[in-house]
């Protein structure tokens, strides 16, 4: 079900590919090694059956990890959590949720405009 790889030091990668045939896009979700703000996003990725890779950052060395993330991610406002979809990166949890639904086949989750 999950593949775990260790990156250089802080982040741990977990690949969730049981739904790989559904999407051609590459989704990567990065957050601390806790549930926190990323858990609803993980639930949404699982519910929409979107294959993704989860990168977990160690929270024991928070200041150094944040500096590394902010200096190495190619974003205007790098922060955790972030979602990378192919070459596009997003760093606000509500915007990430919107992007997950937008890129999945579950647009009905966005609701309808009654007008």
Mean pLDDT of 12-20: 58
pLDDT above 60: residue 7: no
pLDDT tens string 20-54: 455 578 899 999 888 889 999 999 999 989 999 99
Query: Could you give the CA distance from residue 61 to residue 65 in angstroms, rounded to a whole number?
Result: 6
> Does residue 78 contact residue 36 with C-beta atoms inside 8 Å?
no
74 lies in some domain: yes
Using the 8-state DSSP alphabet, how is residue 73 labeled?
A: S
User: Mapping DSSP to helix (H, G, I), strand (E, B) and coil, where does residue 16 land?
Assistant: strand
CATH at residue 89:
3.40.30.10
Total of domains in the chain: 1
- Which residue range forms the structural domain that includes residue 96? 2-110
Q: Name the one residue in this structure whose structure tokens are 């593949």.
A: 3
pLDDT tens string 46-99: 998 999 999 998 878 888 888 888 888 888 888 889 999 988 999 899 999 999
115 lies in some domain: no
Q: Which of 46, 43, 48 is nearest to 103 (CA)?
A: 48
Residue 32 CA, distance from chain mean position: 11
Task: Give me the pLDDT at residue 14, please.
Answer: 61
């Amino acid at each position: 079900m999950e593949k775990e790889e260790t990156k250089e030091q802080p982040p741990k990668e977990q690949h969730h590919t049981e739904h790989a045939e559904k999407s051609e896009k590459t989704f990567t979700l990065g957050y601390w090694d806790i549930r926190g703000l990323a858990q609803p996003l993980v639930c949404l990725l699982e519910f929409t059956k979107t294959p993704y890779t989860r990168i977990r950052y160690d929270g024991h060395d928070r200041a150094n990890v944040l500096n590394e993330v902010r200096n190495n991610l190619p974003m205007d406002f790098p922060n955790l959590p972030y979602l990378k979809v192919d070459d596009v990166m997003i760093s606000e949890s509500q915007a990430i949720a919107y992007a997950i639904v937008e890129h999945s086949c579950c647009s009905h989750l966005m609701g309808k405009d009654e007008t």
